[in-house]
Amino acid sequence: MGNTMLLTLLLVVVAAYGQTPPPPEGFRWVKNESFSDEFDGEVLDTTKWYARSPYWVNGRPPATFRAGSVSVKEGMLQIKNSVLDGDKKYNIAGGAVASVAKDALYGYYEARMKASSISMSSTFWMKNKPDTKECPFEVQELDIVEVVGQQKTGWDFRTNLKSNTHIFYTDCDGEKTVKSAGGTEAKIDPPANEAYHVYGCWWVDADTIKIYLDGEYQFTMNPSTHFRDTPFNKPMYMHMVTETYNWETPPTPEELADDTKNTTYYDWVRSYTLVPVDQ
């Protein structure tokens, strides 16, 4: 077998099964089952996942979230976007699958996903609820991947990997501000809607988040440095979401009715934490 064929085979294996980065000396990776699923059954595992997120219930108009958009079949978690009749504010049904557990913190998180081919997002991200309802308070968000399979504006979320971190701050006057710190972009080839890719994130510590694509390191985000030394250290829940963006033209009813284009597929999601080698 030639070197080119061996390299191709290796890339296929990495894309299909994922690849954790080498652990630091003295540590090993252990699967975090609360945030891992192969989606090999016939129904969503409700001990791990909500079919409709209780953390972000309605979504951003004109799309909203419906549990009926979510299914598990053919070894995949599938979110099928569709026309939603009878609602003036929301006329598109997307989906938001959320983890039951809310304690995702430092570790490695990855999902093998193929985006839909419509102008809605296909995403994999994490967020926390406020520690307190008393003001002031803040919420942190880690966007591992946000892609859009059909580009209608000038922003290319189809072939460019975009990751980000956000802190949403609410003061005692009810004023809300957001601070964002992302990383450099990486090329997605083939495009996100034409092939499955493994999107990974090593949340190392409160200021170090490394982004991976198909097992290869791409860039690092340093949120605490950008957020004036605010540590990025809130335990989070996990989201797999399809939604509309306010900067992108929504899909047409004809596009939403096309079953070759309207679905985002998650082959699996896997999560790992570091433990000492002697444990």
Average pLDDT over residues 54-82: 97
String of b and e for 47-79 (b: at least 16 CB within 10 Å)? ebbbbbbeebeebebbbbbbeebbbbeeebbbb
Residue 203 pLDDT grade (very low, low, confident, very high; cuts 50, 70, 90): very high
110 is catalytic: no
The answer to whether the beta carbons of residues 263 and 251 sit under 8 Å apart is no
Residue 11 pLDDT grade (very low, low, confident, very high; cuts 50, 70, 90): very low
The answer to whether the beta carbons of residues 76 and 106 sit under 8 Å apart is no
146 is catalytic: yes
Residue 107 pLDDT grade (very low, low, confident, very high; cuts 50, 70, 90): very high
Residue 92 confidence (pLDDT): 98
Does pLDDT of 52 surpass 80? yes
Q: How far apart are CA 208 and CA 230, in angstroms?
A: 13
Residue 217 confidence (pLDDT): 97
Average pLDDT over residues 174-201: 93
Does pLDDT of 240 surpass 70? yes
Q: Coil, strand or helix: which one is 67?
A: helix
Cβ neighbours for 185, distance < 8 A, ≥ 6 positions apart: 160, 161, 162
Does pLDDT of 136 surpass 60? yes
Does pLDDT of 16 surpass 70? no
Tens of pLDDT, residues 255-276: 999 999 999 999 999 999 999 9
Q: Report which of residues 147 and 12 the model is more confident about.
A: 147
Does pLDDT of 146 surpass 80? yes
DSSP 203-251: EEETTEEEEEETTEEEEEE-HHHHTTT------BEEEEEE---TTSPPP
Burial class of 262 by CB neighbour count within 10 A (0 to 12, 13 to 18, 19+): buried
Least confident segment among 8-22, 100-114, 185-199:
8-22
3-state helix, strand, coil in the chain (%, to 5): 10, 40, 50
Q: Report which of residues 94 and 230 the model is more confident about.
A: 94
The answer to whether the beta carbons of residues 242 and 53 sit under 8 Å apart is no
Residue 44 confidence (pLDDT): 98
Residue 18 confidence (pLDDT): 64
- Which residue among 110, 138, 146, 255 is the active-site one? 146
Report the percentage of the chain scoring pLDDT > 90: 79
Does pLDDT of 7 surpass 50? no
Tens of pLDDT, residues 71-98: 999 999 999 999 999 778 999 999 999 9
Residue 1 confidence (pLDDT): 52
In order of 47, 112, 179, the CA distances from 15 in angstroms are 27, 8, 33
- Which residue among 25, 38, 134, 141 is the active-site one? 141
Q: Report which of residues 71 and 16 the model is more confident about.
A: 71
Least confident segment among 159-168, 175-184, 201-210:
175-184
Give the pairing of strands 70-73 and 107-114: unpaired
